[in-house]
Chains A and B, each alone.
Chain A
Amino acid sequence: MNVDQQGESTTVDWQQYESDAQQAIVAASTAGELDDARVHYLGRKGDLAQALRAVRDRESGMLLNGIRARLETAVDARRAAIENEELQRLYAKSSFDVTLPGETPQRGRLHILTQVKREIEDVFLGMGFEVYEGGEVTDTWHNFDALTTDPGHPSRSPTDTFYLSDDVLLRTHTSPDQIRLMESRQPPIYAIMPGRCYRRDTPDATHSPTFLQVESLVVDRGITLSDLKGVVLHFFRALFGPEREVRMRTSYFPFTEPSVEFDVTCFLCNGQGCAVCKHSGWIEMGGAGWVDPDVFRNVGYDPEVWSGFAFGLGIERIAMLRHGLGDLRLFWENDVRMLEQF
């Protein structure tokens, strides 16, 4: 094949040229050798480049471009292979210990009670509840009277409750927030109220004069105990797993009528009976009930129009049950060796 139309120049055997080039590429064992081969066969001054510049007819152009494309592909492939071989050689020399510890950036922790509290809040937020926070210092109206706690109820006694004066006290439960919230606006209300509460209990493994409660309040039209059970069931399934069941037992609280106590099937033994559930298969979780009509009257709601439920539980209790913490005082000691486990 003659590329030179003028017939002045040498003729090149392009088949031979490609085959030589391929051999040179394959023979290159370093990046430098490969580059030499590339410059020689594909470089601007190489035969192929020059011939391409001089090409005039379509047939020759296709032929030469085909050769160039194949050689470029071969160079790329060879380069990748050489790089790979070089890395392999480099890595072959070192023995790397992946079991040595990583560099540790300082990482703190949220307190386990905050983690549990947030989780509870998030479950209720997902059910369309809001989080309402009132004050911890409150008056007897919000803590007792408005909640229809009668004057003889033991919780009012100064042996149970911290009083600042005859009328002002540290709330003994989160329920005064129910009253505050209802006093502040009209239904519907779907809210939870977490926070610190105070009772005159001498601290030991199961008592703390300061503790955290979370309480939920719903006020709407046509709310029944059945709705209470549904919300509680959803909540405990979210917290303790989809297999959980709940049951309601009769109980007494001044501000709900009927009042019930909630149990959930033990998540450790799945209701078979173990030490945690005292071999009953059920764990007591908290108190609840249908809001007493007199509580509605006390905040100016019409109990023939509105109905609702309230339910409350201890945040520490959930943390203790779930994480096997046996002593309430651990929460208030703030020992980093405990905190960092969560």
Chain B
Amino acid sequence: MKVPVTWLREYVDFDLPVEELARRLVFTSCEVDRVVRRGVADGNGNLELFLVGKVLEAEKHPDADRLQLTKVDVGEGEPRSIVCGAWNFGAGATVAVALPGAVLPNGLTLERRKVRGEVSDGMILAEDEVDLGTDHSGIMLLDPEHEPGTPLAEVLPLGDTVLEIETGYNRPDLTSIYGIAREVSALLNVPLAPMPGVQDSGPVPNDEAVDIRIEDFERCPRYIGRLFRGVRVGDSPHWLKARLLGAGMRPISNVVDVTNYVMLALGNPLHAFDHAKLAESRIVVRRAREGETIRTLDGAERTLTSEELVIADAERPVAVAGIMGGEESEVSADTQTVLLEAANFEQLGVLRSGERLHMRSESQTRWEKGVAPELAEPAANYATQLLDELTGARWTGHADVKAEFSERPFIRLRPARAQEVVGIPIEETDQRERLIRLGFDVDPEWNVDTPYWRARDVKREIDLVEEVARFHLEEVPPTLPTREELFGQLTREQRLRRLVADVLVGCGYFEAYTYSLQADDPHPDALVLPEPLSELQRVLRTTLLYGLIGAARHNVNVGTEDVALFEIAHVYLATGEPLPNEPWHLGGIVRGDFYRAKGAVEQVFSALKLESRFERAPHPFMPSPASAAVEGGWVSQLDPRLLEGEWSAFELDLPELFAQVPERVLYEDVITYPPVRQDLAFSVPEEVSAGELVAAAREAAGPELREMRAFDVYHGEQVGPKRKSIAFAVTFQSPERTLSDEDATRLRTAVVEALAARFGAELRA
């Protein structure tokens, strides 16, 4: 929201610089994004170059049909020649003049120059040229009572400073200039002017009835309708246009501008209907009928559902409640009778309607924060006063239909609570004054009445504590909690997860972060978002594979050759319960064959002090025969249709692995007694795997077979058809004694015989 400072000062006076005010508001009240100057720049004497002028002569430029040649008195004795493109004035007009050297709001510096041979020694201003409006069809005509040479800044609001603020969801009161003024008053402990519309309501007329009916009091707890006759629709005065522009809204017409002005001033959105366009002169606040349509002020034709609250006349909707009016009942230049709406709409209803209809408006953003229904009355009063002043309208009718409002909170405050929350003492007088400035009633026993504009947000003692605490945040010193118990270490699973990541980094893998939401997933029960953001992020993954494939593909596409990636993240497995199981998985992908991926997995197992047993197993969604199952997961050559070239991948369920990790590692004596090393090569049938041979050998030789590792596989004539030779490096060792030659022979024989018996293995040389 944009807060023109001259407007703010109408309600609260302060003598610190605007920048300092902005700095302090940031701590106590709201974010201030920027402090900007709008309109004509002040400084370097620029403002003094804008003067009131009296047109002495005006005639057509001799060499240009569209230009006027004028002589303008700007109080200098000698009139100035000015060439002007507008024709909405003649001799005798009082106008706004900028002299050569003046810098306009758009950054342009005026110069004395010749226009088609005639000297132009200044410029007669249109309102858009000094940010006082949007009209460029003619120049501004000023009240003739102003003397030529009067500084223009005394006559028109030429420039202003504007605070651009952001207000929180809990502060509907701050979406108004008066609300900001109230904060400034509490912050600086300075007086606040009475709220406009509170004191000067005047006698309520009873000339004619206003027909207002509310069918849904929950969505619309209040509707004040006021009738105005003899309205003269026209332009707003410059002061009002300047304020609207300063607050970021476009001036439209005096009637519409008044509704917007009051909304900005007080925070209660208003609407004006052309009364003549309302069927049977009636207002009905009701749910839309299914399929009913309305053309809204933005020109869009909208189809409504019964969820939408509308303002209707006797026949059709004339506004989407709280969001936007309809085009047909819009106030136009011909409008003579206006029905002013000062209502209250419930926040959730407006929020949901806005979402359903994809609409955004200034009024909507206020209703969504929850405006109090009490505010409608001062808003109606203030608008009445302005319509009377600016349009010559006569207030002739009034109706106020309302539900029972919820009771205002009544709270008992313990002033000592503030220190318990903030950590520093806050004087009782300080707390009391602050609350009173903010509009709370505080009795001597600290019973506190919340004002209606804060009733939604301040209901409990802690809310009052915040109201006083927020003015002291700058003073709070840093302390540390006094601990009676200390803990603070990673869990076993967290430590092991770090270990696994570090091992893979050591293996040359880069860690990737890929999306939990994927386009698809091979698991039939994978959880699918009913309303995804895009088809690419639709399913909660049960495997990390596809994210990694995407990341690998990206790297290949940008020309990176050797890619090895891993990820540690949740997968989401449906359980039948409302919430899925979310185990941490480790996934990896690497350019290269099966064994490259397997090597990394072996390193992970080794680091976890786990033995890995790989078994050839068909992969659920990978067709390659190079696919193995291992405890907690799989390793496989990648389907080449997923990614071009030779790639391999793996995935492990970490909690399943971690459950088997030994609590502690016990030292094995491999130093005292020397090992016996031998190379043994066996010829075996093609289908026998190295893993099966090792398992059988272990079973036969017992723990004294310390290691047996395949290091060569040979196919060829020497082993015959359908057979292969596997060479193993074998280590025999005992932790208790030195193995003798006889021991080694015995162990070796046990291995050889077992493999021969089980697999028809023949020991080669």
Contacts and interface: CB of A to CB of B under 8 A. Distances in A.
B565 A225 contact: no
Contacts of B504: 108
Interface string B160-173: 00000000111100
B42 to A, nearest CB: 21
A108 B511 contact: yes
A133 to B, nearest CB: 8
A307 interface: yes
B516 A260 contact: no
Contacts of A188: 483-485
Interface string A57-82: 00000000000000000000000000
A293 B476 contact: no
B514 A334 contact: yes
Nearest to B471: A250
A125 B491 CA distance: 11
Contact of B554 (A135, A167, A335): A335
Contacts of A233: 478
B582 A334 contact: no
A53 B355 CA distance: 112
* Chain B, interface residues (CB within 8 Å), range: 35 or more
B676 to A, nearest CB: 32
B476 A154 contact: no
Interface in B509-537: 509-517, 527, 529-533, 537
Contacts of A206: none
Interface string A105-138: 1111111011000100100111111110101111
Contact of A226 (B424, B460, B565, B566): B424
A340 B512 CA distance: 11
Contacts of A102: none
Contacts of A135: 570, 579-580, 582
Contacts of A248: 27, 473, 476
Interface string B407-436: 000000000000011111000000000000
Given A164-B529, A225-B423, A152 B489 contact: no
Interface residues of A, number: 87
B29 interface: yes
Nearest to A196: B516
A29 interface: no
Q: Which of B470, B513, B564 has the most CB of A within 10 A?
A: B513
Interface in A158-172: 158-159, 162-165, 167-168, 170
B711 interface: no
B474 interface: yes
Contact of A332 (B513, B530, B558, B564): B513
B379 interface: no
B469 A136 contact: no
B103 interface: no
B421 A252 contact: no
Chain A interface, >50% SS class: mixed
Nearest to B559: A337
Contacts of B516: 136, 196, 198, 210
A222 B420 CA distance: 7
Contacts of B510: 108-109, 111, 334, 336, 339-340
Contacts of B533: 162, 200, 202, 209
A333 interface: yes
A80 B579 CA distance: 77
Interface in A139-195: 139, 151-154, 157-159, 162-165, 167-168, 170, 188, 190
Nearest to A282: B26
Contacts of B662: none
A331 interface: yes
Contacts of B28: 250
B718 interface: no
Contacts of A108: 504-511, 564, 566
A292 interface: yes
A145 to B, nearest CB: 14
Nearest to B465: A258
A257 interface: yes
Contacts of B361: none
B481 interface: yes
Given A139-B578, A251-B168, A158 B531 contact: yes
Nearest to B498: A118
A231 interface: yes
A332 B473 contact: no
B462 A257 contact: yes
B470 A250 contact: yes
A251 B31 CA distance: 8
A223 B484 CA distance: 13
Contacts of A106: 507-508, 564
Interface in B553-568: 554-555, 558, 560, 563-566
B380 to A, nearest CB: 25
B523 to A, nearest CB: 15
B351 interface: yes
A227 B478 CA distance: 6
Nearest to B424: A226
Contacts of B474: 247
Contacts of A126: 488
Interface in A304-342: 307, 331-337, 339-340
Given A106-B508, A332-B515, A334-B551, A249 B494 contact: no
A196 B478 contact: no
B481 A227 contact: yes
Interface string A229-242: 11111100000000
B462 A293 contact: yes
Contact of B473 (A133, A170, A250, A293): A250
B537 A130 contact: no
Task: Kindly list the 5 A-B residue pairs having the minimum CB-CB distance in the complex, ordered from nearest.
Answer: A226-B423, A106-B508, A224-B423, A252-B168, A230-B478
28 contacts: A108-B506, A108-B510, A108-B566, A110-B511, A113-B513, A118-B498, A121-B490, A124-B488, A128-B488, A130-B488, A151-B348, A152-B368, A154-B351, A162-B532, A222-B420, A224-B423, A227-B481, A229-B476, A230-B479, A230-B481, A247-B27, A249-B26, A250-B29, A332-B515, A333-B551, A334-B513, A336-B510, A337-B558
Given A106-B507, A163-B531, A250-B473, 4 more contacts: A130-B489, A139-B578, A154-B351, A227-B479
